[in-house]
């Protein structure tokens, strides 16, 4: 938690020597509290003051990374309980399991199924971000062999899951360059797993069955020299797990309780695909950083990924598409032209309805800073000038041999001014774009 100006003042020499450029130590303390100065500007600051300020400035939740290259996963570094307070920084990750009992074609089929769990949604790619290798066999050799095979054929960050420190050691030895996440360190094996994590430079998962036990365990692991960890609760039911995850988040962020200031991981390995999906969505909402599921059913994975996408979108920055002229289908010089805004949800809704019409068309996307048609119009971001400017910028006149522009029905009131500004005939389209297919077939 940040220190107040008065708290900082108590740590300063109080000699008012002015070497920092401020008239008094108090003025300097106030400037520091507002992050307008650096403690380095005071040549007489004590080590105690430097340590206290550095600790106060550290983020309440540590950022933890695992995986390598383009598929490195970044977790944590969150600062708020609720998205609307600021935003969430590190999108939660969905991981799918691979058992080390699988071999040959069965193992290949499982990995292929996991690799295929990628989707496009409102113009963005979303998908599984990690694979969790389970030591179901109980054999350290089989676990290490499967982990090595997964590393070769699956690009995602890897989580090694075993109760045995020996098995984790064997698998980590074969995959250390992929920086796997080692799961789990418990009260019984914390020193051994921490030693492996330290040697291989990998983060680990600390697992305990209560919030209190978790705080003790993380301090034990830190004492063993490991700072990068992810917390996992052995919860008996969803209600208890959600409650404990919320409690840990609150203690970490609101009370700056460092022993719980780490991202979290939840295992969702039981139940039908539907149940795993529903449980995964609930856990992502409050506050799982990684959800490990067993199912590879796309219908079960997509709702979890959609939840991640929605929750981790910056509420101050709506998802936007690039403003430009989009040809939909095999357009010709006679194709109709319409415009919409660059709010992704609006654009992709219009695009899918134009595609459904099977009438090749142009959609001109006007930059309205990611707002929808009515919001942009009422905020004067969508007006005759912005549309006319976009038509000029994207050279619409030279793409077709007509001068007819279809506008959204909700902004029919723009017709007159738009006609004057562009010289084009304005056709008022439907209010709801679901009517576009019928409109395009009948009117254009
Ligand atoms: Fe106070 Fe340090 Fe500034 Fe001198 S340099 S006035 S001791 S804060």
| Substitution candidate for ligand 1 out of 22, 43, 50 with most atoms within 8 A of CB | 22
- Bridge pairing between strands 425-428 and 404-407: parallel
Contact 96, 296 (CB under 8 A): yes
> Quick one: tokens of 438?
């019928």
Instruction: Give distance in angstroms: CA of 28 to centre of ligand 1.
Output: 7
Return the ligand 1 atom nearest residue 28 CA: 8
Ligand 1 pocket member 44 (CB < 6 A): yes
Which pLDDT score is estimated for 444? Answer: 67
Ligand 1 pocket member 20 (CB < 6 A): yes
Residues belonging to the chain: 444
- Give how far the C-alpha of residue 336 lies from the chain's centroid of Cα atoms, to the nearest Å: 38
E strands present in 246-392: 265-268, 290-293, 325-328, 337-341, 361-366
> Quick one: tokens of 354?
């134009």
Which pLDDT score is estimated for 1? Answer: 56
Domain locations in the chain as residue ranges? 5-57, 64-311, 325-442
CATH for 325-442? 3.40.50.11600
Ligand 1 pocket member 299 (CB < 6 A): no
Ligand 1 pocket member 42 (CB < 6 A): yes
CA neighbours closer than 13 Å in the CB half-sphere of residue 29: 19
CA distances from 338 to 48, 403, 427 (A): 65, 11, 9
- Give how far the C-alpha of residue 392 lies from the chain's centroid of Cα atoms, to the nearest Å: 36
Whether the model clears a pTM of 0.75, i.e. scores above it, the answer is yes
Taking CA atoms only, the protein residue closest to ligand 1 atom 8 is 25
Contact 114, 121 (CB under 8 A): no
Ligand 1 pocket member 438 (CB < 6 A): no
Which pLDDT score is estimated for 127? Answer: 97
Which pLDDT score is estimated for 57? Answer: 66
Which pLDDT score is estimated for 389? Answer: 97
Task: Divide the 444 residues of the chain into consecutive groups of 10 and give the mean pLDDT of each group.
Answer: 82 93 93 84 90 77 95 94 90 98 97 96 90 98 98 97 97 97 97 97 97 97 97 90 96 93 97 98 97 98 96 84 95 96 92 94 95 94 96 96 96 96 95 91 78
CATH architecture assigned to 5-57: Orthogonal Bundle (1.10)
Cα distance between residue 354 and residue 363, in whole Å = 9
| Substitution candidate for ligand 1 out of 20, 29, 46, 50 with most atoms within 8 A of CB | 20
Taking CA atoms only, the protein residue closest to ligand 1 atom 3 is 20
CATH classification number, 64-311, choose in 3.40.50.720, 3.20.20.20, 3.40.640.10, 3.20.20.70? 3.20.20.20
Return the ligand 1 atom nearest residue 15 CA: 7
List the one residue out of 130, 103, 108, 105 whose CA is nearest residue 117: 130
Cα distance between residue 92 and residue 288, in whole Å = 7
List the one residue out of 59, 93, 92, 56 whose CA is nearest residue 77: 59
Cα distance between residue 432 and residue 330, in whole Å = 24
Geometric angle at alpha carbon 114, from 113 and 119, rounded to 5° = 95
Which pLDDT score is estimated for 400? Answer: 96
């Amino acid at each position: 938690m940040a220190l107040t100006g008065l708290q900082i003042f108590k740590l300063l020499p109080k000699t008012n020597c002015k070497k920092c450029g401020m008239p008094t130590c108090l003025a300097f303390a106030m400037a520091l509290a507002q992050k307008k100065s650096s403690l380095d500007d005071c040549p007489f600051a004590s080590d105690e003051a430097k340590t206290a300020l550095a600790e106060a400035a550290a983020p309440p939740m540590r950022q933890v990374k695992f995986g390598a290259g383009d598929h490195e996963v970044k977790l944590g570094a969150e600062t708020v309980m609720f998205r609307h307070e600021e935003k969430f920084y590190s999108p939660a990750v969905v991981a799918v399991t691979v058992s080390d009992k699988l071999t040959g074609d069965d193992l290949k089929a499982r990995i292929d199924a996991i690799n295929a769990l990628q989707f496009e949604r409102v113009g963005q790619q979303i998908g599984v971000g990690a694979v969790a290798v389970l030591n179901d066999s109980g054999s350290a050799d089989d676990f290490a062999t499967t982990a090595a095979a997964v590393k070769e054929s699956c690009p995602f960050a890897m989580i090694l899951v075993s109760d045995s420190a020996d098995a984790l050691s064997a698998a980590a030895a074969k995959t250390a360059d992929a920086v796997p996440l080692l799961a789990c360190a418990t009260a019984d094996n914390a020193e051994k797993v921490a030693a492996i994590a330290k040697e291989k430079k990998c983060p680990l998962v600390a697992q305990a069955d209560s919030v209190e036990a978790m705080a003790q365990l993380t301090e034990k692991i830190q004492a063993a020299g490991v700072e990068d960890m992810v917390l996992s609760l052995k919860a008996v039911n969803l209600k208890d797990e959600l409650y404990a995850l919320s409690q840990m988040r609150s203690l970490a962020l609101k009370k700056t309780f460092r022993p719980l200031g780490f991202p979290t991981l939840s295992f969702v390995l039981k139940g039908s695909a539907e149940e795993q999906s529903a449980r995964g969505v609930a856990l992502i909402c409050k506050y799982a950083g990684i959800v490990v599921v067993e199912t590879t059913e796309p219908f079960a994975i997509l709702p979890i990924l959609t939840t991640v996408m929605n929750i981790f979108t910056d509420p101050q920055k709506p998802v936007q598409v690039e403003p430009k002229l989009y040809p939909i289908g095999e357009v010709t010089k006679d194709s109709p032209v319409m415009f919409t805004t660059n709010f992704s949800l609006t654009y992709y809704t219009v695009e899918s309805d134009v595609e459904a019409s099977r009438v090749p068309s142009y959609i001109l996307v006007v930059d309205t800073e990611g707002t929808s048609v009515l919001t942009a119009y009422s905020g004067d971001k969508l007006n005759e000038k912005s549309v006319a400017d976009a038509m000029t910028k994207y050279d619409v006149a030279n793409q077709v041999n007509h001068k007819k522009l279809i506008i959204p029905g909700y902004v029919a009131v723009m017709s007159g001014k738009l006609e004057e500004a562009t010289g084009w005939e304005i056709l008022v389209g439907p209010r709801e774009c679901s009517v576009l297919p019928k409109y395009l077939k009948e009117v254009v």
